[in-house]
Each structure stands twice: as C-alpha cells, then as structure tokens.
Structure 1
Amino acid sequence: MADKPGTKTIKILLKLLAAPYRLRLKQLGAAVGLSDRGTITKHLDCIRAAGIVVKRDKHDRYAVIPQTGFKELNYLSPFSEADKNRMKELVGQLSTAEATSLINKLESLYNWQALGIEALRRPELEKLDAIEEAKRLKNQVTLVNYRSRNSNDERDRRVEPFGIYPESGMIMAYDTEKLRVAYFFLKRMDRVHVLEEPWQFEPSHSNVASDCFNIVKNKQVLVDLTLGVSAYNDLIERNPAARQFTRKGSKENTYAFSGRVNHEFMGLTQFILANWRHVTIHAPATLRETMVREAKQLMEQLSGA
C-alpha cells in the first residue's frame, strides 16, 4: 500500500487534528516522512482547498479548525456533499492513475464515518500516536484485547508495527506469534501498549499486498462470482477495495466480481454465508467445496448433532 499524494495529505490532516498548535512545519513533515518545506506547504494548501481551515499561531505551530464550531474532536460532523465535490475537483489536478486511485479511496473515506468518526475519535488518535512512537523507536507493541475476525477470540497481540494507514483505520505489522505480516484494524483493539522490547524481525517487515478483504497471504486464487444488488451493496460497504474487481453483470440487477483473494477464502467465506441467497459461485471449485463444508457444519450445529 504505497503512499499516494492524497494519503499523505490525509495523514497531515489527522496529525493536525490530533495535536492542534503543537507542531511546526518541520515537525509536521517529520511526522509523515517529509522534509521539504515546500512539499509540506502544498499538502496544507490541499487541505485548505477542501474547505478546511488551517491556522498558525505566533510560534508557527499549526492547527485545523472545524468550521462547524464544534469544540470537541468527538463531535466532528460528516463532510457535506460540497466538501466532497471540492476535494474531487482537487483530485482532478493529479495524474489519471493517481486520481482514479484516490477517488476510489475518497468514496469510502470522506464521510467521516470511515475516516473521521472512527479514525478521528480521541481513543483512535491515541492508538495512532502510540503506534507512531513505537515505529520511530523500533519497539514492539501489545494490541490490547484485539478482536480477530477469523479466530473468534479477544486477546492481546504482540506485533512490530511498520506501516500506518490512518485513512483506512489500519496498521501493517509483523505478528510475532504467527511469524507473518498482517493488517490490524484500530477499531478492533482496545488500546496500544508500547513495549521496551526492540524489533526482532525487521528483515521480514515487507509491504505484502493484501486482497480486498485485507487478508495478507502469499497465495491467492482467482474468484468469479455473480452478485445480486443487496450482496453487492454489502460487499462494497464492508470491503471498499472490492469495488475495483466488480462490474455490472450481464443480467439486469446483477454484478460480476472477478478478483484474486487469499486461498483460504478468509473474509469471503463470511460474506457468502451472510448473502448466500444472492451469490452465485462460478469458480474456483475449491471455493464451492469450502462453502459446502461450512454449510454442513452450520446444519450440524443448528440441528444439535
């Protein structure tokens, strides 16, 4: 997940909201990996162009001032349609590839439900600050009471965070228990505890691409599905990255999904079980076999066998 220009802009916005009137230009740049003052200023101009007020005090420290007049970060309201349109106009100044990528991202990020109400709440910002500190120190952290989607448990996870994506509410880290790189969601952890133990697995800190269900697996398989409208809505709303693999179907009120997902079908299995009436599996055969096995286990559980 490489940094796009818009991603750094959003990171700067988040930093300003988290630390109003605490950072000067150089410190703000350092927080997001920038050293050129002109580049940092351009990102601030992008924020202003979106209709967001950026102010500077007499000590040259910056802050974002919500125009709504709300005094507490917890009460930030969603962006209006005008806000979204202004940012889309700004995106039009980028190259075609960058603009397409960023527009897709903005569709899911700019309602402050994904970006603001979750990523900008004070507890989430505290988690981000702790993770950024651990990354700077190259220390391990404990994700307290992390709620895993796939293992159905809630427990502490010790990881080495090396990638931070606040606009998506995720971090990329090396899991010291499972010995692999994985994404972790801010909303699934109670808090972050920075440990004194330094990184031990830095050579394995690689930016491994995830599938549209945010599952990191080296082995992926091509999946071909037909979705009804309700299934399509559920897929896109829960997994915005799936949008790029989905097109209008050949029949009315259908959508075609064709994309590579992890070979264990984590994330996809849960989606199909929740929408089985409106999903047709065309390929691969192993996905059908997996769903049959899951369905049999469900029937056994419901029947009390």
Structure 2
Amino acid sequence: MGKKSDELQIERLLKILLRLSNGGKFTASELCNYYDISRRTFFRDTNTLRNVGFALEQKEGYYWIDKNNSQSKNLFDLLYFTEEEAFIIRQAIHSIDETNVLKQNLVNKLYDLYSYGKVAEVIVRREHTSTVHELNEAINKKQQVRLLGYYSSNSNTISDRLVEPVSFTTNFIALWAFDVESQSNKIFKIARISRVEQTGQPYQYEHQHQAQEIDVFRISAAEKIPVKLMLTMRAYNLLTEEYPLATKYLTSQPDNRWLFDGWVCGFEGVGRFVLGLCEEVEIIEPDSLKIFLQKKVECFGK
C-alpha cells in the first residue's frame, strides 16, 4: 500500500471513529455510502478499530462505539472537548461579533479538524448536534437529504421534505435549503427537524440556490426595511435577551433610553416585539410599521 493510500485509510478510519462515537448507530450500508467504500473495506476498517482497542459494538445490523469502555476512554479524552473546555470555547466564540468573518472561519476550522466530533455541541444544543453533523456533511458533499418529521409553523403540519442544503444561519439556528417540491429556497429551523436522512443523490438545482437575508428578529426575506425604535431600559433589556444580534444596532441615549437603528426583512418579528411592549417602545420610522400594527390591533376588536 502506497503512502497516499495509507493517508487516505487513516483519514477514513478517524472519520468513521468519530461518527461511530458520536452517540448514533449506523448500518454497514449507511457507512459504506457515507465514505464511498465497499463492504469488504468497511469490515476491514472495523476489524482495525477493534484490533487497536476500540469497543466497537454491533447489534441488529447497527454499529457504534462504546465510549465508556476503559480501553476507548483514554483516546476519547484526547479527541473530544471536556465539558469545561467546551464551555470556555463556547464563551470565546460567542464573544466575537456576529459580523466578523473570523468567527465563521473559526467554526469552519473546528469542523475541518473534527468533522463529526463535538464542535456542534460547542455551538448548538446537545440534542441538535446529530442533525447539524448530517446536514454539514450533505453540504460538503453537495447532496440532497430528507428532513424527516419537519414541523412547519406556517401550515401547522408535520411532513418529510426533500431538500438541497445550502448553508447554516448564525450559530446553526436554522438551515437555508432548496425545497425540491416547491422549487424555492426556504429556511428550516434546526429544532423542528426530527431526523436527517442521507439520500446519496447529488444536487440537481444548484443553479437555483440562494440564501436570503435574516433580520435580528429571525425573519427572512429578500427585502431590507430600515427601522428606528426608541426603547426604555426595560425594552432594551428584553430585546437584547431575546434577540442578542440586535445589540449591534443599539446606541445609548439620554434618560436611560436606547435607539435601535437597523433593518428588518418584514414587520412580523419586530411587530410582535413592539406589541408586547407598546408602552415601552416608540416607533420613529417607518410609518408603514405603525400602520401594520394598527391593523393587528384592529383584529382584536373583531
């Protein structure tokens, strides 16, 4: 076996190792498809992992690695962040301004280093890490996936969606993807995805991929509408707690007031915030936001 082949095998073994130890269980067919290898190569790789001391488990056709096994634990201490290390890294990453390209570069480098390790656990909630890993892999491979059991708040339905994942929003809160059925680019909330199913099928509509803007109130659209709001201290505190990305558009004013001078993609998000604090927020502009809220208030009287 040549040097290049040795390097590829080592890289593949590390990727398989990290995937199998991430808490999920996978069939031989799934892993062969993930890494484009034959079943013979897969079984040779699993034997290699067992021979070097990893507790590779197999039951009912599924494979995984028991990280609690004493022989495996020492190496996992090197491969993964401890809880305290993850906390420190999380604090450091989130201290970087969202508009700073270095922040996303740092996240990308961590993914390059660990692929399926605990990078997402540093950025997203623990229960969503598997979803993020699967989607990240599909993006890198430019392949379609199925979002199984996706809950849509617009239609109030749960269904499976065949999509072409494009990119993540800030901190992996949502996914930009091309919806094959509707032939349109949409945003899918990570928390509403039950499971991701790899299809192994390449992109078919890459020329139509387009990620739109997302405002600080998490509304997405192609347009950007300038908005100015004067906030009391209470409104300021609630805004920064519920929508941290709004901080960069806020400036201190006299009398413990704060000016929000930013933009939104639509009035639904900012409208909900203002309606909930109507005595704490003054709309400076635009007038169209005032009209939008007046119509909402009129609905209560019907």
The two structures have a TM-score, normalised by structure 1, of 0.58
User: Which of residues 234, 240, 245 in structure 1 aligns to 2:244?
Assistant: 240
Residue pairs, 1:106-255, within 5 angstroms? 116=121, 119-121=124-126, 123-135=127-139, 136-148=141-153, 151=154, 153-156=156-159, 157-164=161-168, 167-176=171-180, 179-195=183-199, 198-250=202-254, 252-255=255-258
Once the two structures are superposed, residues 257-284 of structure 1 have per-residue CA deviations (whole angstroms, 9 ceiling, x without a partner) of 111111x313112222222221111111
Residue pairs, 1:78-89, within 5 angstroms? 79=87, 84=91, 87=92
Moved more, 290-299 or 157-166: 157-166
**Bigger Rg, structure 1 or 2:** 2
Residue pairs, 1:33-52, within 5 angstroms? none
1:190 Cα deviation after fit: 2.5
1:296–1:196 distance in 2 versus 1, CA, 3 Å:
farther
2:90 and 2:206 map into 1 onto residues whose CA distance is: 40
1:267 and 1:233 map into 2 onto residues whose CA distance is: 17
1:225 Cα deviation after fit: 0.8
> Counterpart of 2:274 in 1: which secondary structure?
helix
Query: What letter matches 1:267 in structure 2?
Result: G
- Answer whether contact 1:142 1:158 (CA < 8 A) is retained: yes
1:152 Cα deviation after fit: 6.4
Equivalent pairs counted in the alignment come to: 222
- CA RMSD, aligned part only? 4.3
- Answer whether contact 2:216 2:246 (CA < 8 A) is retained: yes
1:146–1:218 distance in 2 versus 1, CA, 3 Å:
same
Query: What letter matches 2:256 in structure 1?
Result: N
Q: Which has the higher helix share?
A: 2
> Counterpart of 2:151 in 1: which secondary structure?
strand
Correspondence 1:63 to 2:112:
no
Equivalent in the alignment of 2:292: 290
1:196 Cα deviation after fit: 5.9
User: Which of residues 251, 259, 263 in structure 2 aligns to 1:260?
Assistant: 263
1:179–1:220 distance in 2 versus 1, CA, 3 Å:
farther
Q: Which ranges of structure 2 fall in alignment gaps of 5 or more residues? A: 1-14, 23-71, 108-119
- Answer whether contact 2:147 2:193 (CA < 8 A) is retained: no
1:231–1:83 distance in 2 versus 1, CA, 3 Å:
same
> Counterpart of 1:134 in 2: which secondary structure?
helix
- Answer whether contact 1:143 1:189 (CA < 8 A) is retained: yes
1:174 Cα deviation after fit: 2.0
1:274 and 1:235 map into 2 onto residues whose CA distance is: 11
1:165 and 1:217 map into 2 onto residues whose CA distance is: 14
1:286 Cα deviation after fit: 1.0
- Answer whether contact 2:144 2:162 (CA < 8 A) is retained: no
The structure 1 segments of at least 4 consecutive aligned residues displaced by more than 6 Å after TM superposition are 56-61
- Answer whether contact 2:231 2:257 (CA < 8 A) is retained: yes
Equivalent in the alignment of 2:52: none
1:173 and 1:185 map into 2 onto residues whose CA distance is: 11
- Answer whether contact 2:138 2:198 (CA < 8 A) is retained: yes
1:295 Cα deviation after fit: 0.9
2:225 and 2:90 map into 1 onto residues whose CA distance is: 39
